[in-house]
Structure 1
């Protein structure tokens, strides 16, 4: 629900209505925010939440009433939305495949870096576009020191069902994503 907050408040402030199609995998926070906005007095029809999969996406792309499209997510879907929307003369913002990097210099404050990396790597189970997928350490000494400080923090993460209080990380959103992450871990261990 964080990413749409970059978009629809501005669109609404500029006098537009907004149709928001959240991921079919995790729409709950979007619905809650929409309910809160309506309770706060946002008129009905200004922010509209539409549920669905590719069929819903295609309907929005094809609707002549929809003049602009915005998407944040995977690269293949961003490319699809850009291609199909542009072919219909729509304004399209399609942001795909965010991979963020952290560069740590030899004089970096490692406690601060570890705190930032833990939040970026494990917050929202690493399933957000602000996740840091690569830490680039300048110099061998900082790399070893960073790993030494990171390992105990990672080992102490409390992981469990997302409805349990006091956890650091809930489950990944799908089994497919779990398998993808497991593959990354295996690749990292192998190298």
Structure 2
């Protein structure tokens, strides 16, 4: 995925994220990777890909449970993340000339203690209402490739020649009804 602040080759700012995408649907795909591959192949054919937009449709939030959350896991995770922060501060103090090993060890120890406290307090207040670890992502049911009208028929035909996609709505030329 690209950053919304990226610039197009002609130095214009990309379309705003808050605007509804415009254009005609020229292909529909089961995965983002498939839609991206089609855009890449169109680019290889010298198609003006700045006229294309990939749109995720039928969005859903998916939470994948990755494991059980226990006191040991909370304590260990808090200590580890705090210790890393302590390494950072220990290195900073070491660079500033306060020795190396003493600030490093104190930073790790104090960071681990603070990390444990900052992890234990919220977990204790949850009182077992969420005893699992998970990751959440937004996924789409399908990914449509849209194209600006002046190049839509050309894009649709090129995608059809590739034999990719899952059909769906096709671009129509002028006078063919929309």
Instruction: Tell me the TM-score normalized by structure 2.
Output: 0.28
Higher RCO (CA-CA < 8 Å; seq separation 6+): 2
| Structure possessing the higher radius of gyration over alpha carbons | 2
